[in-house]
Amino acid sequence: MWDSQRIADLVRGELTGDSQVRASGCCIDSRGVKAGEIFFALVGERTDGHDYIEGAWQKGASVVIGEKERLEHRREVRVPEGKALIRVESGLAAMQTLAQAWRKELGAKVVAITGSNGKTTTKDMVAAVLSEKYRTHKNSENQNNELGLPMTILKATENTEVLILEMGMRGLGQIAFLCDIACPDIGVITNIGTTHMELLGSQEAIARAKWELIEALPETGSAVLNGEDEWSVKQAEHDSHQTFFYGLEGRFHEPDLRGMNLTPFGILGTRFQVGHRQVGHGDRCAVPFAEVAAEVGQKTCPHVSLPLPGEHNVLDALAALSVGILLDVSLEEGCRGLAAMELSRMRLELHQGPEGSTLISDVYNANPTSMKASLQVLKERGGASTLAILGEMYELGEASREGHYEVGQTVAELGISELITVGPLAEEIACGALEKGLSPQRIHSFPDREGAIKKAQELLADLNQGTWVLIKASRGMKMEEVTRALHKG
To the question of whether residue 476 is assigned a binding role by annotation, the answer is no
In sequence order, the 6+-apart residues with CB closer than 8 A to the CB of 32 are none
Please give the helix or strand (H or E) that residue 208 lies within, else none.
helix 203-215
CA distance 120 to 135: 19
To the question of whether residue 119 is assigned a binding role by annotation, the answer is yes
Q: What are phi and psi of 436, to 5 degrees?
A: -90, 0
To the question of whether residue 118 is assigned a binding role by annotation, the answer is yes
CA distances from 234 to 116, 192, 231, 239 (A): 16, 11, 5, 10
Pure H helices in 80-202: 91-106, 119-130, 148-154, 174-182, 197-200
The answer to whether 206 and 133 have CB atoms below 8 angstroms apart is no
CA distances from 335 to 57, 66, 306, 331, 342 (A): 45, 46, 8, 6, 14
427-448 burial, b at 16+ Cβ within 10 Å, e below that, comes to bbbbbbbbeeebeeebbbbbee
The answer to whether 364 and 346 have CB atoms below 8 angstroms apart is yes
CA distance 426 to 420: 9
Identify the three-state secondary structure at position 242.
strand
Strands 386-391 and 468-472: parallel
Chain centroid, CA 245 distance in Å: 20
In sequence order, the 6+-apart residues with CB closer than 8 A to the CB of 40 are 26, 27, 28, 49, 65, 91, 92, 94, 95
Task: Count CB atoms within 10 A of the CB of residue 345.
Answer: 11
CA distance 301 to 255: 15
Give the Cα-Cα-Cα angle 417, 421, 426 (nearest 5 degrees).
130
Chain centroid, CA 18 distance in Å: 40
User: Distance from first CA to last CA of the chain, Å, rounded?
Assistant: 50
Tell me which DSSP letter residue 476 carries. G
The answer to whether 395 and 382 have CB atoms below 8 angstroms apart is no
CA distance 143 to 165: 9
CA distance 105 to 24: 13
To the question of whether residue 121 is assigned a binding role by annotation, the answer is yes
**Binding site residue list for ATP:** 115-121
User: Which residues contribute to the annotated binding site?
Assistant: 115-121
